[in-house]
Structure 1
Amino acid sequence: MIGSVQRAMRLLEAVAAREHGAPAKQLAREAGLALPTAYHLLRTLVHEGYLCREKGLFFLGEAAERLSSSGAQQKRRSTVSDALARWRDSIGAPVYYAVYRDGEIEVMSVADTPGNPAVEEWADFRETGHAHAIGKCLLSQLDESARRDHLDRYPVRSLTPYTVRDNAGLLRRLERTGRMEPVTERQEYALGTVCAALPITAGTTAATMAISLPVHQADRLLPAARQLQGEIGRLLGSLAISISI
């Protein structure tokens, strides 16, 4: 280890432990450093944006806050990925997590196995939200204006013989969707596959978790979706899950 890096890290830790800031002498004492060394490192950390100084007290700077934010984001992403993997194993089906952000459908995470593979994205998920359960679930959470804007950009088109035929038909189907009910599709995006998606709404952002199964297991779809719904409820009851991952 490079000694100066170790000493700088100890100073950062000492500052982070002081919510209301601390003077250089106190930080030097807590980090076990000579005062001249502490002053030199503190000036460097301020210059680089990891600390800021106000009225003789040192606080974490914007660069350190960005590191903290990135770390928290990674932790949230890891938590969601771990949860999807657990549900994949307990349900015996691929599990998907997606959000609607800036007018686009984004699949954020997928947990599958070689024995239960995810649906192959043969047609861009962002452009085919009318056909798959993930897209329809996200669109069902939008207001009418946002739905029509999405369909103006990505109009309905047939992917299989089972795909909804036009924008009007899709809008009618979305309007009939129950607020917390699973949204299902059967071979509308890919032949041989059925899917179900569950809505997750926080503030103004729409999100969903979904599962897919081969068509010969279609009778498992709704029971598996209900099982996933229960698992999501338990997770949300114990964790403030961020949908901005």
Structure 2
Amino acid sequence: MRLLEAVASHADGAPAKQLARETGLPLPTAYHLLRTLTHEGYLWRENGVFVLGDAAERLARGGALQNRRSKIENSLAQWRDAIGVPVYFAVYRDGEIDLVAVSDTPAAPAVDEWADFRETGHAHAIGQCLLSQLDEGARRDHLDRHPVESITPYTVRDGPTLLERLRTAERTQPVVERQEYALGTVCAAIPITAGSAAATMAISVPSHQEQRLLPAVDRLRGEVGKLFSSLAFSISI
């Protein structure tokens, strides 16, 4: 790791002897480790100097990705504790609904994903909120691949009804779903957009506590707005 860090500190690469000095390694040990790292793709040797290889670049991207995920998970946990409800974060990526993270507690459990969220976007607030951010063609494409079907007595009945609901939805208002995905649960989702990306934050409560839903989602919306304004949050994951 010290050798990788040393190589990364030189934009144009560095020779083995210099890297050995900088890391305090005996030259034979440095040579052996540099050959191993080169063989594994973490380094590349050209013109007598070592530079970072493709494997090291992938490692760096993975670390950045994990860092962003950790920020998201920490934020969800803070809002979960502050508001007292499960909090969900999802994005629409490559034509599919991707539930990125969920934060709940034993006292306030998340909805059990008993039917695949990707295939039942028409039935839950997360999916409806994401679909509402797409254009008409993208919505129809999604529903062609994942047709509307009733999974509870309250689920929207058909594609045209859902498309009309999405067309008339107020973009600034939360999407509310009552027992369409899971009996005994009501959910609300707020849209989050960054460029061409569609994302959503959502919460859920038991249906007998529905009076908590809108005040909780209003508070969540305020918290999300403060976090975005601090530039501490990224949905590019």
TM-score, normalization by structure 2: 0.91
Residue 103 (str. 1) matches residue 92 (str. 2): no
1:156 to 148, 157, 171: 148
- Where 2:149 maps in the other structure, the secondary structure is coil
Gapped regions of structure 1 (runs ≥ 5): 1-8
- Where 1:93 maps in the other structure, the secondary structure is coil
Residue 11 (str. 1) matches residue 27 (str. 2): no
Residue 84 (str. 1) matches residue 76 (str. 2): yes
Instruction: Give the match for residue 112 of structure 1.
Output: 104
Alignment of 1:130-209 (within 5 A): 130-209=122-201
Give me the whole-angstrom Cα distance separating, in 2, the residues matched to 1:122 and 1:10: 47
Give me the whole-angstrom Cα distance separating, in 2, the residues matched to 1:216 and 1:118: 15
Instruction: Give the match for residue 70 of structure 1.
Output: 62
Instruction: Give the match for residue 45 of structure 2.
Output: 53
CA RMSD of aligned residues (A): 1.8
Q: CA deviation at 1:25?
A: 2.6
Deviations 1:101-121 (A, max 9, x none): 222212121111111111122
Q: Which amino acid aligns with 2:12?
A: H
- Give % identity: 72
Q: Which amino acid aligns with 2:121?
A: G
After superposition, the Cα gap between the structure-2 partners of 1:37 and 1:117, relative to the gap in structure 1 and judged at 3 Å, is closer
Gapped regions of structure 2 (runs ≥ 5): none
TM-score, normalization by structure 1: 0.89
1:223 to 207, 215, 224: 215
Instruction: Give the match for residue 3 of structure 1.
Output: none
Deviations 1:175-229 (A, max 9, x none): 1223342111112222221111111223333211100011222222122111111
Give me the whole-angstrom Cα distance separating, in 1, the residues matched to 2:80 and 2:149: 31
After superposition, the Cα gap between the structure-2 partners of 1:159 and 1:45, relative to the gap in structure 1 and judged at 3 Å, is closer
Q: CA deviation at 1:80?
A: 1.0
- Where 2:118 maps in the other structure, the secondary structure is helix
Instruction: Give the match for residue 85 of structure 2.
Output: 93
- Where 1:130 maps in the other structure, the secondary structure is coil
